[in-house]
């Protein structure tokens, strides 16, 4: 018995905030447990829900019955249910939306509705009804309502179908959900690399130290967050793998998260080597069927470790005893659509709820994480040296600023006008190719990155209030601050040096590829960015070729900066290293430091030492200075100072409110009304909201996205609970409208 009563509280994946009450039929009472899926009637539909509690009575008079239990066991355990509740509270969402986020689509799929025409003839009124009936007859037999609806776009379909049902001209059938039983899982798209088992080496003493700390916590039990800060190539992955082995020896399962699984086929190799046949994989590249199979393998305990990207944080592993987050600083852990959660932060919360250790690893920890170590919330573990004492690569910065003025003048190191590669980088490339070694060229050109910069002195237009770069809006011929709404007219005169030398900047990887091919016509050159990796498996293929030495020069966006370990790479070039620095984002310097340190970290992992050339307009910026010295801690100190001075996280908390809609005036008005309401609220309740700043409303940096106009408000405050309370109230204040939607982003990363 599981404390069950006559009624069950069921959460269905929908925006409904409260659990719904259903009666448990007598014949299901013995089988039903908390955390199980059930099929329940909701309106005219049948939907899947999760049982969260049992109650023995209800004051409701009309209670519907649970229809069936599709599975043999619960799909969510207690800690995972509590994590959902925590998410709903913290991210100001509904528990139903949380479940819709956590459960894979076909686990929560409602019953399939099929429709068939009656064999009898009916006198049908209305053109649409007649056409629907004719279509159905021509199909002979049942078809799904969804498929039929697609044949009749343009409205009115469901109403017409309803009338047909009422006159019994058609019949709708609900096929209840069934658990797909006894199906062999489809293997995910993963191919072993064929590299031989590298065998087990002796751990360095630093690795041993880190492993010991984690192992002790595993033995003793209880929650603890570790930050494993280890320079690139210091053997962090080896520490994770051994800790996971320890967990398994203790009968616990473990979860390891990576930013993008298609970029880390090597990790899959190593996991399969250590846990043959016991590795589950979850990521967005799986088909629905693969995801379904993986998910059930995990629920049933058929795997000991799960590796996955962001959403794997919800993997329903029984006896989960260790959570690892590799490259914990990576922005891809932040979900940017729908329910905007941060998987690294959730890892820590889940570990706390499970009472187990959590290991966050990085060569360039997030400022928040390192600050958490200083505050004693995380335990710092350090790996200061590369394995086998390999040196870190030598990093040189190359100043892109012109030394002289006037047309046609440039110094010898500078790229020619319109070109991306400097002579120094070109020579290095040629030399590296001649020696049969591999080169990596990084250009992080994001779709939206136009800003005004002085081509003489490197000056970038910044907001006086926010110390972020202002964004060039060509159409309005002005520059805007996307944090506070400040605006200036765009001119070509540089406020730094007074010359008419301000220019919009923008160059992409495609142009770079062309330049490289012209310079090295006989080299094998490949490009890796969103455009070249659209197809399933294309990442893996490129990375395998890169690993196997079939590519001489790999160029690309931030994708190429992530964790691969290829020993032939000895030269790394960063072409326009300032790009990420000039994003209108307070994390711009951190992001730049991380990207460059990571891409630099790809060099010199084999016998040959590596070198890195960073081309920049701002070589004196502290981010570049510290990259050059591989000095994370000094970077952290400088960055902390900046964050503290401007009251940014981790020294304050942020909630980002975005309003969007199809009618610009309406969005603007709603945003302004909300801003006024928020300010009034802060004045009215000074005791709770004293330290809260309301920034904006301002148009979003990307003022129109997918046909919707966007405005935003940023809330900043020292105290999390007060900030969340105020932000939570906005949900009831913004008028429910067909046209304007409010999105709340707690701890935002991307405010574009
Ligand atoms: P990181 O994750 O810190 O970048 P990895 O764990 O990928 O580093 O290790 C880098 C390389 O060094 C890998 O090829 C790994 O197999 C190897 N390695 C790890 N630990 C050791 C060790 N103690 N001795 C020798 N090689 C090691
Ligand atoms: Zn500003």
Q: Please report the pLDDT score of residue 473 as a whole number.
A: 64
Q: What is the mean pLDDT of residues 729-749?
A: 87
Decide: 41 and 48 in contact? Cβ < 8 Å.
no
Closest approach atom of ligand 1 to CA 239: 6
Per DSSP, 184 falls in state: P
Q: Please report the pLDDT score of residue 465 as a whole number.
A: 66
pTM: 0.81
* Of 172 and 372, more confident: 372
Ligand 2: distance of its center to the CA of 472 in Å?
14
| Structure-token match 């649409």, residue found | 128
Q: Given a cut of 90, is residue 383 above it in pLDDT?
A: yes
* Of 154 and 442, more confident: 442
274, 283, 291, 375, 707 from 189: Cα distances, Å: 19, 11, 11, 42, 35
Helix residue ranges per DSSP H, 221-305: 236-249, 265-274, 288-299
If pLDDT is split at 50, 70 and 90, which confidence band does 584 have?
confident
CB atoms within 5 A of ion ligand 2 belong to 463, 465-466, 481, 483-484, 486
What is the tens place of the pLDDT at every residue in 484-542? 667 888 777 888 888 888 877 656 677 788 889 999 999 999 988 766 676 777 888 88
Ligand 2: distance of its center to the CA of 694 in Å?
12
Q: What is the mean pLDDT of residues 245-262?
A: 93
Residue-wise burial string across 574-601, b where 16 or more C-beta atoms lie within 10 A, e elsewhere: bbbbbbbbbbbbbbbbbbbbbbbbbbbb
Among 195, 209, 234, 235, the mutation site with the greatest number of ligand 1 atoms within 8 A of its Cβ is 235
What is the spatial distance between Cα 295 and Cα 306, in angstroms, rounded to a whole number?
10
Q: Please report the pLDDT score of residue 409 as a whole number.
A: 47
Q: What is the mean pLDDT of residues 585-602?
A: 91
For ligand 1, atom 26, which residue shows the shortest CA distance?
387
Q: Please report the pLDDT score of residue 275 as a whole number.
A: 95
Per DSSP, 451 falls in state: B
Strand pairing report for 253-257 and 305-308 = parallel
Closest listed ligand to the CA of 563: 1
Strands (E) located in 575-692: 611-616, 653-661
Whether the CA torsion 362, 365, 366, 371 is positive or negative: it is positive
Q: Please report the pLDDT score of residue 531 as a whole number.
A: 61
What is the tens place of the pLDDT at every residue in 420-469? 899 999 999 999 999 999 999 998 864 333 567 888 888 887 777 655 67
Closest approach atom of ligand 1 to CA 204: 23
Give all strands of the β-sheet with 553-556 in edge-to-edge order. 394-399, 611-616, 569-574, 438-442, 553-556, 525-528
What is the tens place of the pLDDT at every residue in 338-382? 899 999 999 999 999 999 999 999 999 999 999 999 999 999 999
Residues within a 6 A CB radius of ligand 1: 198, 201, 203-204, 207, 230, 232-238, 387-388, 565
User: What would the two tokens of residue 700 be?
Assistant: 């979003």
User: What would the two tokens of residue 616 be?
Assistant: 């920049």
Count the Cβ atoms, other than its own, within 10 Å of residue 334. Answer: 18
For ligand 1, atom 9, which residue shows the shortest CA distance?
235
Ligand 2: distance of its center to the CA of 669 in Å?
21
User: What would the two tokens of residue 435 be?
Assistant: 């020696």
Among 200, 234, 237, the mutation site with the greatest number of ligand 1 atoms within 8 A of its Cβ is 237
Above pLDDT 90, what percent of the chain?
Answer: 48
* Of 417 and 423, more confident: 423
Q: What is the mean pLDDT of residues 209-213?
A: 97
* Of 415 and 338, more confident: 338
Q: What is the mean pLDDT of residues 393-401?
A: 90
> Judging by beta carbons within 10 Å of its beta carbon (0-12, 13-18, 19+), is residue 40 exposed, middle or buried?
buried
Closest approach atom of ligand 1 to CA 207: 23
Q: What is the mean pLDDT of residues 327-334?
A: 95
Q: Given a cut of 70, is residue 260 above it in pLDDT?
A: yes
């Amino acid at each position: 018995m599981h404390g069950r009563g006559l009624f069950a509280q069921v959460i269905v994946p929908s925006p409904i905030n409260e659990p719904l009450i259903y009666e448990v039929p007598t014949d299901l009472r013995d089988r039903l447990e908390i955390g199980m899926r059930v099929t329940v009637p909701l309106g005219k539909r049948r939907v899947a829900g999760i049982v969260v509690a049992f109650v023995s009575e209800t004051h409701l008079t009309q209670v519907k019955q649970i229809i069936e239990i599709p599975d043999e066991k619960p799909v969510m355990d207690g800690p995972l249910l509590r994590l959902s509740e925590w998410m709903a509270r913290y991210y100001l969402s509904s528990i139903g939306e949380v479940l819709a986020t956590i459960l894979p689509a076909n686990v929560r799929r409602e019953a399939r509705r099929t429709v068939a025409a009656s064999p009898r003839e009916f006198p049908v009124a209305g053109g649409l009804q007649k056409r629907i009936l004719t279509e159905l007859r021509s199909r002979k037999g049942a078809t799904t309502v969804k498929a039929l609806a697609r044949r009749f776009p343009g409205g009115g379909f469901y109403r017409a179908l309803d009338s047909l049902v009422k006159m019994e001209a058609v019949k709708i059938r609900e096929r209840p959900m069934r658990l797909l039983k006894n199906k062999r899982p489809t293997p995910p798209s993963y191919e072993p690399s064929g590299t031989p088992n590298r065998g087990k080496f002796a751990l360095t003493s630093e690795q041993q130290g880190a492993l010991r700390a984690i192992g002790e916590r595993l033995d003793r039990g209880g929650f603890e967050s570790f930050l494993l800060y280890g320079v690139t190539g210091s053997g962090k992955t080896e520490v994770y793998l051994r800790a996971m082995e320890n967990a398994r020896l203790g009968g616990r399962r473990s979860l390891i998260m990576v930013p993008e699984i298609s970029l880390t086929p090597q990790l899959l190799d190593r996991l399969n080597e250590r846990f043959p046949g016991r590795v589950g994989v979850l990521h967005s590249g799986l088909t629905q069927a693969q995801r379904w199979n993986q998910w059930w393998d995990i629920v049933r305990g058929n795997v000991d470790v799960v590796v996955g990207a962001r959403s794997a944080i919800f993997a329903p592993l029984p006896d989960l005893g260790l959570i690892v987050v590799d490259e914990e600083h990576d922005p891809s852990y932040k979900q940017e659509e729908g329910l905007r959660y941060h998987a690294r932060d959730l890892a820590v919360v889940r570990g706390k709820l499970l009472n187990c250790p959590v290991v966050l690893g990085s060569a360039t920890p997030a400022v928040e994480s390192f600050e958490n170590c200083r505050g004693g919330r995380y335990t710092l573990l350090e790996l200061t040296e590369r394995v086998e004492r390999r040196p870190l690569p030598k990093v040189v910065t190359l100043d892109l600023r012109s030394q002289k003025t006037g047309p046609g003048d440039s110094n010898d190191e500078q790229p020619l006008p319109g070109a991306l590669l400097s002579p120094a980088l070109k020579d290095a490339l040629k030399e590296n190719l001649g020696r049969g070694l591999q080169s990596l060229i990084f250009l992080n050109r994001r779709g939206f990155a136009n800003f005004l910069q002085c081509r003489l002195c490197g000056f970038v237009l910044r907001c006086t209030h926010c110390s972020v770069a202002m964004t060039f809006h060509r159409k309005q011929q002005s520059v805007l601050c996307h944090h506070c709404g400040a605006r200036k007219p765009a001119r070509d005169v540089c406020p730094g040096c007074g010359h008419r030398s301000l220019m919009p900047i923008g160059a992409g990887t495609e142009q770079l590829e062309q330049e490289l091919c012209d310079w090295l016509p006989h080299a094998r050159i490949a490009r890796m960015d969103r455009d070249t990796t659209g197809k399933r498996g294309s990442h893996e293929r490129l990375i395998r070729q890169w690993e196997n030495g079939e590519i001489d020069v790999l160029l690309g966006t931030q994708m190429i900066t992530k964790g691969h370990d290829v020993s032939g790479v000895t030269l790394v070039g960063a072409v326009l290293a300032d790009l990420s620095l000039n994003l209108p984002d307070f994390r711009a310097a951190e992001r730049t430091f991380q990207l460059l340190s990571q891409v630099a970290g790809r060099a010199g992992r084999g016998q040959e030492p590596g070198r890195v050339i960073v081309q920049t307009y701002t070589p004196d910026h502290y981010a570049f200075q510290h990259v050059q010295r591989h000095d994370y801690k000094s970077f952290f100190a400088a960055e902390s100072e900046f964050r503290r001075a401007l009251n940014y996280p981790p020294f304050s908390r942020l909630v980002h409110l975005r309003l969007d809609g199809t009618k610009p005036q309406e969005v603007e008005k709603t945003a302004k009304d909300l801003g006024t309401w928020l300010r009034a609220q802060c004045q009215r309740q000074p005791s709770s909201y004293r330290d809260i700043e309301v920034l904006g409303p301002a148009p979003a940096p990307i003022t129109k996205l997918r046909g919707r106009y966007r405005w935003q408000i940023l809330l900043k405050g020292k105290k999390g609970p007060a900030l969340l309370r105020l932000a939570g109230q906005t949900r009831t204040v913004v008028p429910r409208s067909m046209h304007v939607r409010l999105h709340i982003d707690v701890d935002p990363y991307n405010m574009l």
